[in-house]
Amino acid sequence: MSKLLNIMLVRVVATVALVFAIPAAASAQEIKLASVAPEASPWGAALNQLARDWGRISNNRVRLRVYHNAIAGEESDVIRKMRIGQLQAGVLTSAGLKQLVPEVFAVSTPFLIGSDEELSHVMDRIRPDLEASFEAARFHVLAWSAAGWVHFFSKSPVRYPDDLRALRLAADPDDAEMDQAFKIMNFRPIPLPVGEVLTGLNSGLVDAFYTSPLVAAGYQWFGLAPNMLDLKVAPFLGAIVITDAAWRRLPAAIREDLRDAARSVSQQIDRDVRSLESEAIATMRRFGLSVTDATPEVLDAWERDIERFRAQMNTVFGVDMTARIERILDEYRRR
């Protein structure tokens, strides 16, 4: 009888073990990724595509769950949640990336990088070192993205630096480095959260703001500041990052395939943003936006003016990295 019981017990244990083993093998590893961008945007569409790609590549062993629309909080919240394991990945702009690796913010130094081609050239050369710094901070960059360019918008036309100095410039209170840079250049930044820019323009608290054409069009701010200077102030840099712990849990055989998929959708974002920026400017023009061309004379005036403050600004954005970027640009521009 005891022998029979032992046989039955062994069979029961084996059956229970099998029952628990099957879901474990069939279940997907879930990666929770947060983004502040709207789902109905190039970023949202690309991330949804990435989720499908990861499922296909992994044969559904890796499930990417995307939280769009800042549902997981602002970038500082996303970073905090990644550090405690509530999230495994996030889409961050330079403002968030600098919290992990401060030197990355040098790329956003005002009037340092002046074109998509220069940005691409610079990133090709500094990317390996930046990614190594992220790995030292226990994060991995899956893909980089250029999310557009910052421009000045104003109530009255701005052509030269002194034109802007006469105006009160709305500045994001969470973007301390940019605020400090504008003060160094003797502009008049007024701390104003994004949600209060429209009210500030309407009340006369501010006369100008800086952002990308996509944001200016999306929030309708240009209606109260219908002048844009066609001068690229700084690039918006973004990246998809994942925690080291989550990265190491991904199946080793397909990690690089998953990273390649992220790079592919990132490249699509870059193409979409460039097209949409042009469309946004054209749309705003139809609704009253006046664009002031940055003629060679205007560009020369800004370059000579900014050069007076360059050394001080570099201390804000990081002396070593800004100096390195300057050397890379000097070599590139001499070609």
What CATH number should be reported for the domain whose range is 2-333? 3.40.190.170
pLDDT 10s digits, 165-196: 999 999 988 678 888 999 999 999 999 887 79
| Secondary structure (DSSP) of 153-187 | EESS---SHHHHHTSPEEE-TT-HHHHHHHHHTT-
Contact 155, 224 (CB under 8 A): yes
Kindly report the pTM of this predicted structure.
0.81
Sheet strands (E) in 48-203:
62-67, 89-93, 139-154, 169-171, 189-191
**Which range (19-33, 71-85, 260-274) has the least confidence?**
19-33
- The answer, yes or no, to whether residue 61 has pLDDT greater than 80, is yes
CA–CA separation, 200 vs 175, rounded Å?
Answer: 18
pLDDT at 259: 97
How wide is the angle at C-alpha 106 spanned by C-alphas 101 and 107, nearest 5°?
A: 105
Q: What percent of the chain has pLDDT over 90?
A: 69
* Biggest CA pair distance of the chain: 101
- Kindly report which listed range (21-35, 145-159, 181-195, 230-244) carries the lowest average pLDDT score: 21-35
pLDDT for 217 equals 87
- Residue 49 belongs to what H/E stretch? helix 42-57
Give the pLDDT confidence of 62-76 residue by residue, as tens digits.
Answer: 999 999 988 998 888
The answer to whether 187 and 169 are in contact (CB under 8 A) is yes
Whether the pLDDT of residue 2 is over 50: the answer is no
Q: What percentage of the chain has pLDDT greater than the value 70? A: 92
CA nearest 267: which of 50, 12, 62, 100? 50
pLDDT in tens, 26-56: 467 999 999 988 787 778 889 999 999 999 9
Q: Check whether 11 has a pLDDT greater than 80.
A: no
**Cα–Cα distance measured from residue 242 to residue 90, given in angstroms and rounded to the nearest whole number:** 7
In 3D space, the residue among 61, 57, 75, 307 whose CA is nearest the CA of residue 184 turns out to be 307
What's the pLDDT score for residue 146?
Answer: 82
Q: Where are the alpha helices (DSSP H) in 137-254?
A: 161-165, 176-184, 197-203, 213-218, 244-249
> Is a pLDDT exceeding 80 seen at residue 5?
no
Closest CA to 94 of 77, 109, 80: 109
List 63's β-bridge partners, or say none: 30
Compute the distance between CA of residue 87 and CA of residue 77 in angstroms, rounded to an integer: 10
